[in-house]
Amino acid sequence: MRTVFDIEEKIKRIEELENEIKKPEIWQNKERAIKISQELKELKEEVSEIQNLKSEVESLDSEEKIKKFERKLKEKEIQIFLSEKYDKGGAILQIFAGAGGRDAQDWATMLLRMYERYCQRRGFKSKILSQSFGEGGGPEGRIGTKSVFLEVNGKFAYGFLKKETGVHRLVRISPFSPKKLRHTSFALVEVLPRIPEPEIKIRPEDLKIEFYRASGPGGQYVNKRETAVRICHIPTGIVVSCQSERYQEQNRKKAMEILSSKLYRFYQERQKKELSKIKGGRISASWGNQIRSYVLHPYKLVKDLRTGVETRNVEEVLDGNLDQFIEAEIKQLRK
């Protein structure tokens, strides 16, 4: 366990940071001091967790305790793979319905529920920041989703969810088809890290900010004041919005956080494209990046096309049990 979790290296780093934070001049650069303090806090938490696991080994005197310990150890091992800059923080998860009208919009709503349930299972807190509703009607009068932004907070939320980015495909008998025909629907999922606003420099003159009334299904107003915020970043054309908060300023702040995350991804993708051009590589259209199929008819199967992991328990997956897929995705990061 000591080798796997590099506890000696972590303890050594803690000592270095503690010596650094004791220097009086460190607070002359407040931003750097805060980063060091945060890293120190996280390292101490990690070392404490590892030491607690080592202590538990000595008291494993029943099968129940052994299974509980194995689950904790497995969770910690998975976190070892999540070492990129924003992996430990929160995420912004977006879902966009593909072509296909009501079926695609209904599929986007199903995916939203699936990720909300996954967050509940993991102990993450999720909150819809904005949602664009589709056509009404259909079975049980349910209303579809054109697009939705979901804020997810919790330790390693972005790390666990980031590989869910891609196209998700559903095959089923359409509940909107009078002839009960089989239909294939697509939805695009994008996962962005939650990035503190100051980390991405955004010039005020590059922004077009609009305020509007937040609305729900059928055009019913969530409130009658213009508290919802839409922000356009003029140089890139990126548009974000937020309508979840009661006050205009709160929605503006959330929208700026989303914009920071989108700009981070935008600059990251642009850099990859430039490198690909230099190397002569081919850039595929993002909408073609199908990652997982969910088949409900003529048989039942969920299959991840990147890892090969599959299960016939489709209902459980749609109820948020994504662990086997996400764990396999994470482990592939180091291959």
pLDDT at 280 over 60: no
* CATH hierarchy code of domain 91-194+289-334: 3.30.70.1660
User: Which tens digit of pLDDT belongs to each residue from 113-124?
Assistant: 999 999 999 999
* CATH of 198-279 given 3.30.70.1430, 2.60.40.10, 3.30.160.20, 3.40.190.10: 3.30.160.20
Residue 87's φ and ψ, nearest 5 degrees, are -60, -35
Mean pLDDT of 265-290: 64
What is d(CA 209, CA 231) in angstroms, rounded to the nearest whole number?
5
CB of 98 within 8 A of CB of 188?
A: yes
Extended beta strands in 245-321, E state: 290-295, 301-304, 310-311
Mean pLDDT, the chain, whole residue set? 84
What residue segments make up the domains of the chain, in order of their start? 2-80, 91-194+289-334, 198-279
Most confident listed range (70-74, 82-86, 144-148): 144-148
Q: Give the global pTM.
A: 0.76
301-304 and 290-295: which strand pairing? antiparallel
Q: Which residue has the higher pLDDT, 159 or 59?
A: 159
Distance in angstroms (rounded) separating the CA atoms of residues 155 and 122? 10
Read off the pLDDT band of 1 (50, 70, 90). Answer: very low
Q: Which residues pair with 209 in a beta bridge?
A: 231
Once rounded to an integer, what is the mean pLDDT over residues 165-192?
Answer: 92
* Stated length of the chain: 335
